[in-house]
Amino acid sequence: MRRKANMILVALLVVGCASKQASPLAGYETVDPVTILPAPGAEPGRYHPEDRDTIDRGRYLVELLGCGVCHTNGALEGAAQAGMALAGSDIGIAYSNPLGDEFPGVVYPPNITPDEDTGIGAWSDNRIGKAIRAGVGGHGGRIATMPWQAYAKLSDDDLDAIVLYLRSITPVAHRTPKPVAPGNRAQAPYVYFGVYRHRH
């Protein structure tokens, strides 16, 4: 009888201690990210008419691959900003575990419009292709949250269509926040798992 009473007491203590612990998501709030976002149309004068079919293919692929969800300001929180399609996000994505690290590493999806100062306008076709298909960023290393593994087997024709399409859209000047290394406090908002936003 005493053994049974002791087991009940231990169970009550475990439940009591667990209920006093803070939820691992206490510092986060749920957001409803955009899951489908139309890609902007090509800008007249930024492409040769004979390339129209290829550009249309590139636009279709950019929508299909969901590029705008990460690379459009506000989309990660469910409120994509008009006129900012593919111009990068001021909302970052945690790439290390914020449930285990007080200050996770965070990247801010960059501007992929053809703006020469803040986007990919000065990049070569090869460099853009490596970013898409191999996740290689401007710094030469892997882009932490780029799902390049899903794009690694894009055909050369599809990759060329995406690059041509990205060069054909309207350039948007928008500089995104710099990446934050694990252990440092992010100054701009970020999400984790795509559905939790850190409260500042």
Segment (H or E) for 159? helix 156-168
Scored b (16 or more CB within 10 A) or e, 41-54 reads ebeeeebeeebeeb
What is the distance between the alpha carbons of residues 57 and 144, in angstroms, rounded to a whole number? 27
Higher per-residue confidence, 113 vs 3: 113
Position 38, amino acid:
P
pLDDT of residue 98: 67
Q: Give the range with max mean pLDDT: 1-10, 34-43, 140-149.
A: 34-43
Percent of the chain with pLDDT over 70: 76
Confidence band (pLDDT; 50, 70, 90) for 101? confident
State pLDDT tens for residues 46-84: 999 999 999 999 999 999 999 999 999 999 888 899 999
pLDDT of residue 36: 78
State pLDDT tens for residues 5-26: 443 333 333 334 444 455 555 6
Q: 88 - beta bridge partners?
A: 72
State pLDDT tens for residues 61-71: 999 999 999 99
Percent of the chain with pLDDT over 90: 62
pLDDT of residue 194: 57
Query: Over 90: is that where the pLDDT of 143 sits?
Result: no
* Average pLDDT value for residue range 162-181: 97
pLDDT of residue 102: 80
Query: Over 60: is that where the pLDDT of 149 sits?
Result: yes
* Average pLDDT value for residue range 176-189: 93
State pLDDT tens for residues 108-141: 999 999 999 999 999 999 999 999 999 987 767 7
**37: number of Cβ within 10 Å:** 20
Q: Tell me which residue of 99, 42, 38 sits closest to 63, measured CA to CA.
A: 38
What is the distance between the alpha carbons of residues 200 and 188, in angstroms, rounded to a whole number? 8
